[in-house]
Amino acid sequence: MESNMDKIGEAQAALRSGKFVLIFDSDSREAETDMMIASEHVTYESIRTLRREAGGLICTTVPAEVSRKLDLPFMAELFAESYDKHPVLRGLAPNDLPYDTKSAFSLTINHRRTFTGIPDRDRALTISEFAKLGKKVLDMDAMTAQKEFGAAFRAPGHVFLLNSQPGVLNDRRGHTELATALMKMDDMFPSATICEMMGDDGKAMRKEKAQEYAERYGLPYLEGAEIIEAWKESVYSK
């Protein structure tokens, strides 16, 4: 029988080679399966696959060390800072999420070389260039990083950025952190592009259907608990 670490290793190998991995968070959380791919390997073909085969919202995760350098706020924080000017935002506060205590949503961006930003090629350009910048900014001072970010991207746009929590799975156990942890444990640049898998019944795709999809196309399928177990045993959780 395949061990948990074998499954984790197979998923990490798939990500390194530019393939998709499916992650189910948990029955007690969103109970959703996300397709994920390493952002640095995103092409227009992978965006098309996410759009057609998954069908949810295509988002790109941002590791905390990059969001700090780029000064990427959480969207909910931006709204909170605007309560006095736009009181309607106070009533829209996401304080009743049935599955979490906070939202990972940050800014939405387009690369400046895109036109509308929404076609598959546009989104692929935005995501792949953001991953390239993310790698570079780790070795920059914050002012230079933010200047390069502004020179290359505009906001709002059509790629949704998701800020991972600093402690990753020690702080939160959403798909943002599950994807980040999986990549971080294999020393990949931990930005993933993820999308929820939708069913034909108007609901999220059932776990069994997502597992069948993974088997049909030879894709690794992981439960959130399997990633959490590996994370707890890794040096990153200490």
Give the Å distances, CA to CA, from 188 to 10, 37, 47, 102, 223. Answer: 14, 12, 20, 26, 20
Is 196 considered catalytic here?
yes
Beta strand spans in 40-99 (E): 59-62
Would you call 129 a catalytic residue per the annotation? no
Given the residues 71, 81, 86, 99, select the one marked as catalytic: 99
158, 170, 186, 229: the catalytic one is 158
Q: Is 158 a catalytic residue?
A: yes
Three-state DSSP class for residue 36? strand
**Choosing from 32, 129, 177, 196, which is the catalytic residue?**
196
192's tokens: 């993933």
The residue from 40, 41, 110, 226 that is catalytic is: 110
Would you say 104 and 163 are in contact if contact means Cβ atoms under 8 Å apart?
yes
Determine whether 34 is an active site residue. yes
First to last CA, the chain: 29
Active site residue 148: no
34, 120, 122, 223: the catalytic one is: 34
195 given a catalytic annotation: no
Q: Please, are residues 192 and 180 in contact by the beta-carbon 8 Å criterion?
A: yes
- Catalytic: which of 59, 129, 175, 177? 59
Active-site residue list: 34, 59, 99, 110, 158, 196
